[in-house]
Amino acid sequence: MNTKEYMDLGEQELLHAYNRFPIVFEKGEGVSLYDLNGKQYLDFASGIGVMGLGYHHPAYSEALKAQIDKLTHTSNLFYNMPSVDAAKKLCDKTGFDRVFFTNSGAEAIEGALKLARKYSYLKYGKERYEIIAMNHSFHGRTMGAVAVTGNAHYREPFEPLIGGVRFAEFNDLDSVKALVNEKTCAILFEPVQGEGGIYPAEAAFMEGVRKLCDENDIVMICDEIQCGMGRTGKLFAYMHYGVQPDIITAAKALGCGVPVGAFLSNEKVGSAMVPGDHGTTYGGNPFVGAAVNAVLDIFDKEQILEHVNETAVYLETKLEELTAQFSCIAARRGKGFMQGLVLTVPVRQVIGACLERGLIVISAGTDVLRLLPPLVITRQDIDAMTAVLREVLKTF
């Protein structure tokens, strides 16, 4: 079938939950995708931050092929070596004590919320259940994740959601303090807000929330699904601040294409979960465990974090040059390889014009052009992206 036939069939057979761009991708190589007609696209979205190692990374592919020949699934009624090894590596690299593997970021959020509530239930009883989340946050599409997402547009069609959620202003510590009461069990936020417009947390906010949680025995949860796994130059974004949360959630580049998420916790909170409290059929099976192991090993062997820190400076410089050149760019925001350009022209039109010229970029909210490139991009890739974006913005 050709591109149009696949698109027509997709519109007929798939639930219409997405407004897709008119492209059918067939394969990927390095930091590029190729459509059915063989057209090459430089990818500065990486599947919304998933493909941290780009496409067809040799060591990653070989690790998954080897695991397929051994074992892909047994259920969590038994142990499996890849997931135990992956959990050990994650704990060693983060200082957390426990890992629970899920199938997605949204499921990781669900598990983190359950764990926080179980900890408070055991210690303080059923009346301590409220969660403070942030306005303009995004945590996923399941019912619990939607309930803590700080955007009424995502919540209202599905109400009533789980109760006991209150929303503060991100980077406004006083607004958080104003909501804390004897019912508060957890404070949840993204160290870098993604969908909300690429807003990094301020150091005083991170430190203040940690202090507030310590003083009131509140569980501090950081959603690292998008900003984690090297995207900001640290393995997880919270590490920039010298602050250790009680729970973090991870997904996206944790598996670099294989659907896997996780929530990690310290022993104090993690010990609240006992057999029967939570579970998953597929989560942490040998196949996804092999993927996480491969990703972490490649990060170390190829010094991915060092590359991000070095190359992100060049990316920020080029984006600042564009910001200075074009009045339709109101500001640049971001950290590492998680960058946003605030535009005064229609973002979707800019994205479409970039696609026509072979560049993939995406949006964050209604007015931010979001760049989430694979962590292996080079200066030459950044130059190529900049050239296309400059050409496109001239037309606006």
Domain boundaries, the chain: 3-57+303-394, 71-301
Give the model's pLDDT for residue 376: 98
Give the model's pLDDT for residue 84: 98
Task: Report pLDDT digits (tens) over 59-74.
Answer: 999 999 999 999 999 9
Q: Which residue has the tokens 């696609």?
A: 355
| 147: phi then psi, degrees, rounded to nearest 5 | -60, -30
Task: Report pLDDT digits (tens) over 234-247.
Answer: 999 999 999 999 99
Mean pLDDT of 310-336: 98
Task: Report pLDDT digits (tens) over 219-265.
Answer: 999 999 999 999 999 999 999 999 999 999 999 999 999 999 999 99
Confidence of residue 48 (pLDDT cuts 50, 70, 90): very high
Beta-carbon contacts of 300 under 8 Å, excluding residues fewer than 6 positions away, are: none
**Continuous segment of H or E residues that includes residue 42:** strand 40-43
Output the CA–CA distances (angstroms, integers) from residue 321 to 162, 315, 316, 329, 389, in the order listed.
45, 10, 9, 11, 12
The answer to whether the beta carbons of residues 286 and 116 sit under 8 Å apart is: no
Q: Please give the structure tokens belonging to residue 274.
A: 């006992």
Give the model's pLDDT for residue 186: 98
Mean pLDDT of 5-25: 94
Q: How many CA atoms lie within 13 A of 277 on its CB side?
A: 19
Give the model's pLDDT for residue 204: 98
Question: How is residue 388 annotated by DSSP?
Answer: H
How many contiguous H segments (helices) and E segments (strands) does the chain have? 14, 17
- Round the average pLDDT of the chain to a whole number and report it: 97
User: How many angstroms separate the CA atoms of 366 and 171, rounded?
Assistant: 20
Say whether 71-301 and 3-57+303-394 share the same fold.
no
Tell me how long the chain is.
396
User: How many angstroms separate the CA atoms of 343 and 280, rounded?
Assistant: 42
Task: Report pLDDT digits (tens) over 355-364.
Answer: 999 999 999 9
Mean pLDDT of 378-390: 98
User: How many angstroms separate the CA atoms of 227 and 222, rounded?
Assistant: 10
Closest CA to 115 of 301, 290, 249: 249
Give the model's pLDDT for residue 100: 98
Closest CA to 362 of 30, 47, 5, 31: 47
Which sign does the torsion angle of CA 232, 236, 242, 245 carry?
Answer: positive
Closest CA to 246 of 293, 185, 202, 196: 185
* The CATH number of the domain covering residues in 3-57+303-394: 3.90.1150.10
Q: Which residue has the tokens 């995004």?
A: 138
Q: Which amino acid is at 38?
A: G
Give the model's pLDDT for residue 25: 97
Domain range 71-301, CATH class: alpha beta
The DSSP string of 99-115 is EEEESSHHHHHHHHHHH
What's the pTM?
Answer: 0.97
Query: In this structure, how many other beta carbons lie within 10 angstroms of the beta carbon of residue 311?
Result: 21
Mean pLDDT of 376-391: 98
